[in-house]
Copies of this chain bind each other. A is one copy, B any other.
Amino acid sequence: MAERNRGYFEAKNILALNLVSSPGSGKTTLLERTICELRERIPIAVIEGDQQTMNDANRIREAGAPVVQVNTGNGCHLDSEMVNRAVRELQPAENSVLMIENVGNLVCPSLFDLGESQRVVIMSVTEGEDKPIKYPNMFRTSQVCIINKTDLLPHLDFDLEKAKEYALQVNHHLRFIELSVKTGEGFDAWTSWLTEQR
- Given contacts A105-B105, A106-B104, A152-B155, is CB(A51)–CB(B126) below 8 Å? no
Interface residues of A (CB under 8 A from B): 22-24, 50-53, 55, 74-76, 103-108, 111, 123-124, 126-128, 130-131, 133-137, 149, 151-152, 155-156
Q: A51-B107, A126-B152 are in contact. List 7 more A-B contacts (CB 8 A).
A: A23-B127, A24-B124, A24-B128, A53-B133, A53-B134, A74-B111, A103-B107
What B residues does A107 contact at CB under 8 A? Answer: 51, 75-76, 103, 105, 108
Among residues of B, the one whose C-beta sits closest to the C-beta of A123 is: B24
On whether the beta carbons of A135 and B51 are closer than 8 Å, the reply is yes
Number of identical protomers? 2
Bound Cα distance from A136 to B137, whole angstroms = 26
What B residues does A137 contact at CB under 8 A? Answer: 51, 74
On whether the beta carbons of B126 and A149 are closer than 8 Å, the reply is yes
Bound Cα distance from A163 to B128, whole angstroms = 23
| Minimum C-beta distance from A9 to chain B (A) | 27
What B residues does A136 contact at CB under 8 A? Answer: 51-52
What B residues does A156 contact at CB under 8 A? Answer: 152
What B residues does A151 contact at CB under 8 A? Answer: 155
